């Protein structure tokens, strides 16, 4: 187990586990955390998993872990690892089963004061329009040919079907479509699972929230994003559903043999990987991109349903009930990006598992209006607590491969949360605090209790203290829909 | 590990779920793993109307076979809303045949996304076999 004495302090918010810590490490581990957070993460195996991740072939510079880190499987959640392209490896476990799990933020020009009495009806309508829960099927069913179009076109498919606007597409990471997706690399099983789940939320920590813009920290960036104090916004958190889970499962199984074929030694079978230029690595990358595009489409269709819910509930009550897209970002993804390494631009495969891309100002892939301020970074808090809107910085490009935290990060196990919290009590407590809740399962609800997570404000203070992101706005929950 | 010959228990895991499963032999270990996964997901079955599904998969090693078995059950649950509480399992040299008996899922409380290989190792004990499985939830 990693101990505090193994860490080298770089600053109040940055620490390092040197490469010399373990003989099989290929790069050091850089930890973005306060002393308090370091103390908290020592309670689980996050850092040990980060050290394991640092053994992958072809890694560049360092493995980075964010302050919302917690123990996962293989990689820790909150981990960022970049490998040389195409000579390094790609690891499905470094991206996760819920490929392109991510967050979308929609803004409105609706002041809370105008719809305070309509929130309960809004919660009910959102809950009906946006199907949630275990294995749920959506309002949309596609055949295999259409599913393959979703794989190739991502949000572009949603645009053609009338579920998206051009602005939605422009304000989505990678414009909602990773090039190079190849449905022929996706199993029949994954396709079968994917046919009926477009436009569904799922369960676990996935949610839809209506929030209040409670505080603005950066007027200029907030104005560009359409965020105004006192107005309401919507967050959607979900991923690629059974389609992505099946693709990852298929390739983690298939790559068990690949590591033997390529003579790669790993400390954990969940870290299986293949060289990016091998047939196995290329196949996984092409299939993973299909799941990523499916997830962009899923959040786009959910956004369409959320807009419908707003129209049904508020059209006769406010003059402008429309929801504008602020941004949509992934936090479980592997992408080929160019980063500056020792002063030279180098193509890398950046694995982000429970970490958000956070590109600084000037990045060409951003919509023109965001280029001067940097990429919006969406950091949802735990249920019932604040969420944050940040922007990426130039320093994030240098320190963390243009990455930032993705949430508050779990602190307590699900089993312990269930022992300490009664779902019904929590429901009552949050309702009394003015939050309108719709939850599928009380047991699942208890697992997501705020006390099971780190303090999101502290996590955000760390990433802003490390200057990999800047605060723009703090959001307060009003409606929470959970599967 | 309990003194019972076969069983499972949930272990502490920060983000996901982990089960410890034990049994006198590999066939029973598979069965206990399936029952444990049902318990983790909070699955309740509709009484009556029993259904049968048969499937098989390759037997390369204990760990891969265990993951393949549980993945198959997750796939059936997702596609057909079925779960199983009785099993007839036959292991031949490199193939495992399964007859799973169960019914439609009445309710569940947790989505299990996947079965992971994280630190997965079936180990021999004095009373049989034991394994710890981490599930992505």
Q: What is the pLDDT of residue A205?
A: 86
- The answer to whether A215 faces chain B, any CB pair under 8 Å, is no
Q: How confident is the model at residue B121, as a pLDDT? A: 95
From chain B, the residues in CB contact with A193 under 8 A are: 75, 78-79
The shortest CB-CB distance from A77 to any of B15, B63, B77 is to B15
**Is A79 part of the contact surface with chain B (CB cutoff 8 Å)?**
no
Looking up tokens 């649950």, which residue turns up?
A: B77
- Which residue of A40, A193, A249, A382 is the best one to mutate when testing the B interface, meaning the one whose CB has the most B CBs within 10 A? A249
B117/A256 touch (CB, cutoff 8 Å), yes or no: yes
A 318-347 → B contacts, CB under 8 A: none
Mutate to test the interface with B, among A79, A239, A245, A254 (most CBs of B within 10 A): A245
CB A206 within 8 A of CB A238: yes
User: Quick check: A280 contacting B, CB < 8 Å?
Assistant: no
d(CA B102, CA B53): 9
pLDDT at A416: 86
**The pLDDT value given to residue A140:** 87
How many angstroms separate the CA of residue A10 from the nearest CA in chain B?
Answer: 27
Which position among A237, A245, A351, A406 bears the catalytic label?
A: A406
Taking CA–CA distances from B68, the nearest residue in chain A reads A253
**Which pLDDT value is given to residue B1?**
58
CA-to-CA dists, residue A57 to A27, A74, A75, A318, A450, angstroms? 10, 15, 14, 57, 38
- Nearest CB to B120: which of A96, A204, A269? A269
The SS3 assignment for A405 reads: strand
Q: Does A203 touch chain B (CB under 8 A)?
A: yes
* Cα–Cα distances in angstroms (integers) from residue A196 to residues A113, A215, A373, in the given order: 38, 39, 38
Residue B73, CA atoms < 13 Å, CB-side half-sphere: 30
Terminal Cα distance for chain B, rounded:
23
pLDDT at A132: 82
Buried b (16+ CB within 10 A) or exposed e, A362-382: ebeebbeebeebbbbbbbbbb
The answer to whether B69 and B96 are in contact (CB under 8 A) is yes
Query: Which DSSP string corresponds to B77-111?
Result: HHHH-EEEEEEEEEE-SSEEEEEEEEEEEEE-S--
Torsional class of A336: left (φ above 0), alpha (ψ -120 to 50), beta (otherwise): beta
Torsion of CA A85, A24, A405, A450, to 10 degrees: 140
Most A CBs within 10 Å, among B109, B120, B137, to test the A interface: B109
Q: Is the dihedral of CA B104, B108, B110, B111 positive or negative?
A: positive
pLDDT in tens, chain A (483 residues): 899 999 999 999 999 999 999 999 999 999 999 999 999 999 899 999 999 999 999 999 999 999 999 999 999 999 999 999 999 999 999 999 999 999 999 999 999 999 999 999 999 999 999 988 776 778 889 999 999 999 999 999 999 999 999 999 999 999 999 999 999 999 999 999 999 999 999 888 899 999 999 999 999 999 999 999 999 999 999 999 999 999 999 999 999 999 999 999 999 999 999 999 999 999 999 999 999 999 999 999 999 999 999 999 999 999 999 999 999 999 999 999 999 999 999 999 999 999 999 999 999 899 999 999 999 999 999 888 999 999 999 999 999 999 999 999 988 888 888 888 898 999 999 999 999 999 877 877 888 888 889 999 999 999 999 999 999 999 999 999 987
Give the Cβ contact number of residue A428 at 10 Å.
Answer: 12
Chain A residue with CA closest to B79: the answer is A193
Residues of B in contact with A48 (CB under 8 A): none
∠ CA A66-B16-A49, rounded to 5°: 45
Shortest distance between the Cα of A148 and any Cα of chain B, in A, equals 19
- Is there a contact between A171 and A204 (Cβ–Cβ < 8 Å)? no
Name residue, tokens 């990999």: A468
- 């400390």: which residue's tokens? A267
| A406: annotated active-site residue | yes
Q: Which token pair is B86?
A: 């009785």
CA A334-A382-A449 angle, to 5 degrees, is 125
Residue A410 is given by DSSP the state: B
Residue A192 β-bridge partners: none
> In this structure, what DSSP letter does residue A389 have?
E
On the question of pLDDT at B3 being above 70, the answer is no
- Report whether pLDDT(B2) > 80: no
- The rounded distance, in Å, linking the Cα atoms of A208 and A237 is 6
Cβ contact, residue pair A441, B42, below 8 Å: yes
Task: Inspect the interface and report whether the beta carbons of A246 and B75 lie closer than 8 Å.
Answer: yes
Beta bridge partners of A339: A346
Contact list in B for residue A414 (CB cut-off 8 A) is 13, 16-17, 137
Among the listed residues B30, B49, B16, the one whose alpha carbon sits nearest the alpha carbon of residue A413: B16
Q: What contacts A392, CB < 8 A, 6 or more positions away?
A: A357, A358, A359, A360, A374, A375, A377, A402, A404, A468, A469
End-to-end CA distance of chain A, in Å?
36
ipTM: 0.92
DSSP states of B1-70: --SSSSEEEEE--SSSEEEEEEESSHHHHHHHHHHHHHHHHT-EEPSS--EEEEEEEE-SSHHHHHHHHH
């Amino acid at each position: 187990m990693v101990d505090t004495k193994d860490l080298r302090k770089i600053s109040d918010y940055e620490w390092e586990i040197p490469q010399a810590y373990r003989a099989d490490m290929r790069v050091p581990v850089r930890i973005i955390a306060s002393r308090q957070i370091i103390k908290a993460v020592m309670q689980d195996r996050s850092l040990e998993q980060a050290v394991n991740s640092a053994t992958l072939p072809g890694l560049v510079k360092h493995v980075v872990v964010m302050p919302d880190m917690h123990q996962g499987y293989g990689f820790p959640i909150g981990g960022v690892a970049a490998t040389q392209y195409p000579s390094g490896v790609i690891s499905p476990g470094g991206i996760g089963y819920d490929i392109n799990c991510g967050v979308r933020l929609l803004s409105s020009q609706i002041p809370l004061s105008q719809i305070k009495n309509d929130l309960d009806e809004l919660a009910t309508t959102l809950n009906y329009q946006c199907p949630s829960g275990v294995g749920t099927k959506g309002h949309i069913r596609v055949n295999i040919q259409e599913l393959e179009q979703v794989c190739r076109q991502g949000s572009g498919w949603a645009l053609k079907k009338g579920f998206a606007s051009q602005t939605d597409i422009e304000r989505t990471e990678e414009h909602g479509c990773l090039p190079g997706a190849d449905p022929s690399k996706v199993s029949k099983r994954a396709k079968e699972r994917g046919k009926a789940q477009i436009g569904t939320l799922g369960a676990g920590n996935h949610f839809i929230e209506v929030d209040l813009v409670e505080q603005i920290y950066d007027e200029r960036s907030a104005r560009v994003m359409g965020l105004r104090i006192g107005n309401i916004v919507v967050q959607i958190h979900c991923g690629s559903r059974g389609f992505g889970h099946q693709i990852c499962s298929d390739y983690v199984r298939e790559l068990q043999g690949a590591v033997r074929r390529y003579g790669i030694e790993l400390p954990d079978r969940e870290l299986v990987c293949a060289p990016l230029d091998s047939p196995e690595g290329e196949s996984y990358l092409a299939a993973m991109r299909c799941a990523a595009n499916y997830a962009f489409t899923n959040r786009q269709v959910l956004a369409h349903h959320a807009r419908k819910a707003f129209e049904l509930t508020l059209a006769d009550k406010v003059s402008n009930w429309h929801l504008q897209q602020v941004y949509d970002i992934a936090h479980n993804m592997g992408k080929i990006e160019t980063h500056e390494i020792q002063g030279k631009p180098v193509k890398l495969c950046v694995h982000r598992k429970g970490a958000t891309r956070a590109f600084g100002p000037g990045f060409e892939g951003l919509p023109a209006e965001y280029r001067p301020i940097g990429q919006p970074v969406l950091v949802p808090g735990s249920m019932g607590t604040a969420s944050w809107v940040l922007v990426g910085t130039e320093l994030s490009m240098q320190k963390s491969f243009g990455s930032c935290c993705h949430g508050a990060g779990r602190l307590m196990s699900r089993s312990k949360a269930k022992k300490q919290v009664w779902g019904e009590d929590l429901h009552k407590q949050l309702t009394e605090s003015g939050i309108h809740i719709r939850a599928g399962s009380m047991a699942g609800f208890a697992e997501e209790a705020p006390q099971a997570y780190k303090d999101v404000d502290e996590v955000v203070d760390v990433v802003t203290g490390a200057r990999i992101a800047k605060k723009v706005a703090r959001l307060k929950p009003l409606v929470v829909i959970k599967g | 590990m309990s003194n019972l010959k076969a069983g499972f228990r949930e272990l502490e895991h920060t983000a996901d779920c982990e089960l410890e499963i034990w049994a006198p032999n590999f066939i029973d270990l598979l069965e206990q793993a399936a029952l444990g996964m049902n318990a983790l997901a909070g699955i309740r079955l509709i009484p009556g109307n029993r259904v049968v599904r048969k499937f098989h998969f390759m037997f390369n090693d204990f760990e891969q076979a265990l993951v393949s078995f549980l993945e198959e059950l997750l796939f059936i649950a997702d596609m057909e809303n079925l779960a199983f509480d009785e099993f007839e399992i036959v292991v031949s040299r490199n193939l495992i045949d399964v007859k799973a008996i169960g019914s439609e899922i009445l309710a569940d409380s947790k989505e299990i996304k996947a079965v992971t290989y994280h630190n997965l190792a079936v180990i021999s004990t004095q009373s049989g076999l034991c394994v710890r499985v981490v599930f992505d939830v």
